[in-house]
Amino acid sequence: MSANLDKLDRRILALLQRDARLPAETIGAEVGLSASAVQRRLARLREDGIITGEVAVLDPRSVGRPLTMIVDLVVEGDRKELVAGLKHWIEREAAVQEAWYVTGDEDYVLVVSARDVDAYEQMMQRLLAENANVRRYRTRVVLGTLKRGLALPLEAG
């Protein structure tokens, strides 16, 4: 995918990562294109799957979810149906903000948002009850956020 990105695409994407609400006219003025040329590029970037979504980033505390936990999961085995069930559970659980399949001692790492410890514990009890393949988990409570974001570095192409 990145081979299709020219210098203008990268500049447009960098601007959008800072503020997805920027109008095409403002982006065009920054990169030296007309608004219609920016709109065509944005349509292509969306169609090609380079832009996968545009969302509002919320402050978790402001919406009643002040706790963030990092959860390491270890599963029993790699039986396809059990792994598929766990992945489906993770995808549909709203409290799970991010999830990765990883190398190392753990199999999955989750970032979980919760209103309090009780809500987190209830979610984890559901996870264990509905996924017999989960052998153990370890929870780390986030004490403070140093950096949060999804903006990717865009080197010159």
Task: Report CA torsion sign: 27, 32, 37, 40.
Answer: negative
Give CA separation, 91 vs 38, 46, 63, in Å.
Answer: 33, 22, 21
Residue ranges of the chain whose pLDDT lies below 70: 1-3, 156-157
> Tokens 């903006």 map to which residue?
151
The pLDDT score that the predictor gives to residue 157 is 59
Domains of the chain (ranges, CATH numbers): 2-47 (1.10.10.10), 60-141 (3.30.70.920)
For the stretch 34-80, pLDDT in tens is 999 999 999 999 999 999 999 988 999 999 999 999 999 999 987 88
How many Cβ atoms from other residues are within 10 Å of residue 42's Cβ? 19
The pLDDT score that the predictor gives to residue 1 is 45
Backbone angles phi, psi at 75, to 5 degrees: -105, 160
